[in-house]
Amino acid sequence: MRNLQKIRHKTHLLLPLIAVLCIGWAGSWDELKSTAGTVTSVKAAFRQEKHLKILARPLVSEGVFYYQAPRSLRWEYTHPVQSILLMHEGSVKRYVQTASGLEMERSAGLDAMQVVIDEITRWLQGRFDESEMFAARLEGAGRIVLTPKEEGFKAIIQWIEINLAEKPGMIRDVVIFESPEAYTHMLFSDTTLNTPIDASIFREVP
């Protein structure tokens, strides 16, 4: 049971990043769900800035992601360490750059990623308020604030802010707060919605 909890916590660590896939601009949950329902695919570049009190300037990572409804995802870092997370047809794989090239990584946390997929699916449908893990609050100016429901999870992430872009279906940026002094800021660019994505993107590397 304790192991199961640990695995759930491990998978929780990926959830905030995947929250960025959530679609839609809206003034209410109903509007958000309505807009989200029209999105079938997402492709975007991202820049991730890690802010810590000890850092004079943030650590920067860059990458791209692809999403295809209902349950296919590719989350790829291109800098500074290449890594690719693939989720497709119930399979979850992670590849990481090593001295001998991209290698598939095996860890217990990946086996439990189906939990994450279910959560993603809810979010992609704009059903933030139905999340099992986060309490969602829709604020003005297209901002959604997610707060973990479990106390144990709050020790890892205090809250998440998602800022929707003006264009329906797009996210401007996401900030994940581990503490007021330690947070991850993700900014998105070159976002395209509802364009066909070849299935091999979710199955193969690079």
Partner 1 sequence: MIHLSRLLFLLMCLPIACSHLPDIQSTPPGAAPSGGCLTSIFPQGDWQLLHAIEATGPSGGKQTLLGLSQISSHKRSAHCVMMTLEGMVLFQATFDDGALSVQRAVAPFDRPGMAEGIVEDLRMIFFSPGRPHIQTGRLPDGMRVCRYPLPDGGTQDIETQDQTHWVIHRYDRRHRLIRTVRPVSDQGRSEQGMPNQILLEAHGLVGYQLRMSLVEAQPLTYQPKLKKVNPCDSN
Identity of the residue, 54 or 141, whose beta carbon is nearer to partner 1 in the bound complex? 54
From 45, 64, 69, 96, residue interacting with partner 1 (rule: CB under 8 A): 96
- Bridge partners (DSSP) listed for residue 148: 134
Give whole-number Cα distances, 185 to 1, 5, 48, 78, 82, in Å.
Answer: 33, 27, 6, 17, 19
CB of 76 to partner 1, least distance (A): 11
Show the site string, 103-142: x = touches partner 1 by CB under 8 A, - = not. x-xxxx----------------------------------
Q: In the complex with partner 1, which residue's Cβ is closer, 96 or 193?
A: 96
- For position 184 contacting partner 1 by CB under 8 A, the verdict is yes
Length of the chain: 206
Residue that has been written with the tokens 């791209």 in this structure: 64
* 161 touches partner 1 (CB under 8 A): no
Exactly one of 17, 26, 44, 205 binds partner 1 (CB under 8 A); that residue is: 17
Alpha carbons within 13 angstroms on the beta-carbon side of residue 188 total: 28
Show contacts with partner 1 in window 44-73 (CB under 8 A): 48, 50, 52, 54-55, 59, 61
Question: Residue for token digits 């800035």?
Answer: 49
> Residue 71: which of 102, 36, 106, 41 has the closest Cα?
41
Q: How far is CA 9 from CA 4, 61, 102, 142, 191, in A?
A: 9, 23, 26, 29, 30
- The CA distances from residue 68 to 30, 91, 193, in Å, are 22, 14, 10
For partner 1, give the closer residue by CB, 46 or 202. 46
Among 34-42, 153-161, 164-172, 195-203, the segment contacting partner 1 (CB under 8 A)? 153-161
Q: By the criterion CB under 8 A, which residues form the site for partner 1?
A: 6, 9-10, 13-14, 16-17, 48, 50, 52, 54-55, 59, 61, 77, 80-81, 83, 96-99, 103, 105-108, 155-157, 176, 178, 182, 184
